[in-house]
Structure 1
Amino acid sequence: MSSQIAINPRVVVVTGTTTGIGAAVVKHFCELGHQVLAVDFNPKGEQVADEAGAAFYQADLTDPEACRGAIADAVQRFGGVDILVNNAGIQHVASIETFPEEKWRQIIDLMLTAPFLLTQAAWPFMREKGWGRIINIASIHAHVASPGKAAYVSAKHGMMGLTKTAALEGGEQGITANAICPAYVKTPLVDNQIADQAKLHGMGEQEVIEKIMLKNAAVKRLIEPIEVAQMVAYLASDAAGAVTGSSWNIDLGWTAH
């Protein structure tokens, strides 16, 4: 898929932008000529945004007011919101029996409630313009489950439901909603899981990569963040105007089984 899709300059809000997929999406959209607001809890995200040519808004998206504040900041800076990329996420690996309740709530708040609130806040500006793109970075875990990831899997399954509902409600208003569902991407979030998975399953870290992360993959490698960013760019383009309510799997062949 070409990254040189013809795109009219738009206002883009991206969450979870300090590293990994979010950082790649911010950089790619800036290169395409968009006005981008990068939103992250980590203050180091400001340097990442500056280097890409984006604006930065520091926010804890588990706070509902911070979600609304991010959209308000984009509107104040750029006059509206055309494209929303819900990417922010965290991970905690533990069995259901030992999973901490506070971690469950944090993950659900950040990865399901925040995308809903951000979508809700951006919706009127998209509706008024008659054009909008909501792109949710879900996961292959929006379709399948893995042991030790109850909160993450639940949030991603919920995000898929949110995507479909937004697609149905937005269709007549020119708003599309789609989800991208990658398998394991080469990001710090994935790197940090390896030790946790090794402990949970009683195996070495290299075994985790080979026997868990890439076990079901036809293509035996991790995904590069830019590969996801280029898919985001397509779904945000005018060329994807007929694409909505869909799940775009970048899963190395995982679900071909």
Structure 2
Amino acid sequence: MDLNGKTAIITGAASGLGRAIAKRFVAAGAKVAIADLNLAAAETTAKELSSTGQTMALVMDVTSEDAVNAGVAKVAEAWGRIDILVSNAGIQIVHKLEEFPFADWKKVMAIHLDGAFLTSKAVLPIMYKQNSGQIIFMGSVHSKLASPLKSAYVAAKHGIMGLARVIAKEGAAHGVRTNVICPGFVKTPLVEKQIPEQAKTLGISEEEVVKKVMLGGTVDGEFTTLEDVAEVAFTFASFPTNALTGQSLVVSHGWFME
């Protein structure tokens, strides 16, 4: 399987998981739009990956319908089609629920859940016209279970599961499939930022956060890698039939099993 002739938009793709997925897609032959809030970083990533394939950089605030629509239109105009959307942009803010600022709650929900909705809404008419498309949401093990301090994140990631299933039902008649990747802890800047935050909130050392809170439930005490997640994204993007739609795949070193 490969992605030759396919075009993809990946949000939050200037770094971390998004960049790793973009790298894997480019290696598989896809044209990839690197969409990110930070245009300079997106341009750097696009340039780095362009040595092995075709890329473009997009500035995109996934919480803005106008920004999302403009970015999607730019890709469709440049490349004539959109085959794959990876809704990956995300943040993490941790607080006890009773202390969670409403503004922070809304920010987490907007980037994760509104972003997934708006980007899907923008690409679906194009995919429906093509009678084909793949939408991949970045969920989390927290799409399946809950952890203290992460009420907004857990709620958003659970919501993404429901959204994906609805799109799978609605999109089937138009050749559109959607699936969710549910990683465990991947050592990205997003996760590294949480280590001191959780240590402070929980009153434990940063080493204990890593060994007990983050990796204590895994089978081997190992972080999931960027490459692990990128390979799952490639599998979803290249899978050819409706046998794999409305599904989620946990990539977590056994932290969560189903």
> For this structure pair, what is the TM-score category when the shorter chain's length is used for normalisation?
over 0.9
Matches of 2:192 and 2:59 in 1, distance apart?
Answer: 24
Q: Normalised by the size of structure 2, how large is the TM-score?
A: 0.95
Q: How does 1:40-189 map to 2 (within 5 A)?
A: 40-42=36-38, 43-53=40-50, 54-189=55-190
Partner of 1:25: 21
Give the secondary-structure state (helix, strand or coil) at the position aligned to 1:235.
helix
Partner of 2:6: 10
Matches of 2:70 and 2:238 in 1, distance apart?
Answer: 26
Stretches of structure 1 that go unaligned for 5 or more consecutive residues are none
Q: Normalised by the size of structure 1, how large is the TM-score?
A: 0.95
Matches of 1:49 and 1:169 in 2, distance apart?
Answer: 33
1:90-149 per-position Cα deviation (integer Å, ceiling 9, x unaligned): 001111111111111111111001111111110011111111000001000001011111
Asked if 2 retains the 8 angstrom alpha-carbon contact of 1:41 and 1:59, the reply is yes
Asked if 2 retains the 8 angstrom alpha-carbon contact of 1:7 and 1:238, the reply is no
Aligned partner of 1:11: which letter?
A: T
Aligned partner of 1:44: which letter?
A: A
Asked if 2 retains the 8 angstrom alpha-carbon contact of 1:60 and 1:66, the reply is yes
Deviates more, 1:177-186 or 1:70-79: 70-79
Give the secondary-structure state (helix, strand or coil) at the position aligned to 1:253.
coil
The answer on 1:38 being equivalent to 2:34 is yes
Task: From the superposition, tell whether residues 13 and 29 of structure 1 become closer, same or farther in structure 2 (CA, over 3 Å).
Answer: same
Asked if 2 retains the 8 angstrom alpha-carbon contact of 1:141 and 1:156, the reply is yes
Matches of 2:33 and 2:42 in 1, distance apart?
Answer: 11
Count of paired positions:
253
Task: From the superposition, tell whether residues 240 and 212 of structure 1 become closer, same or farther in structure 2 (CA, over 3 Å).
Answer: farther
Stretches of structure 2 that go unaligned for 5 or more consecutive residues are none
Identical-residue share of aligned pairs (%): 38
Task: From the superposition, tell whether residues 26 and 193 of structure 1 become closer, same or farther in structure 2 (CA, over 3 Å).
Answer: same
Partner of 2:235: 234
Q: Which runs of 4+ in 1 moved over 6 A?
A: none
Give the secondary-structure state (helix, strand or coil) at the position aligned to 1:88.
coil
Matches of 2:166 and 2:208 in 1, distance apart?
Answer: 39
Matches of 1:29 and 1:246 in 2, distance apart?
Answer: 20
Matches of 1:134 and 1:240 in 2, distance apart?
Answer: 13
Matches of 1:70 and 1:224 in 2, distance apart?
Answer: 29
1:140-172 per-position Cα deviation (integer Å, ceiling 9, x unaligned): 000101111111111100000001101111112
Asked if 2 retains the 8 angstrom alpha-carbon contact of 1:139 and 1:156, the reply is yes
Displacement of 1:241 = 4.2
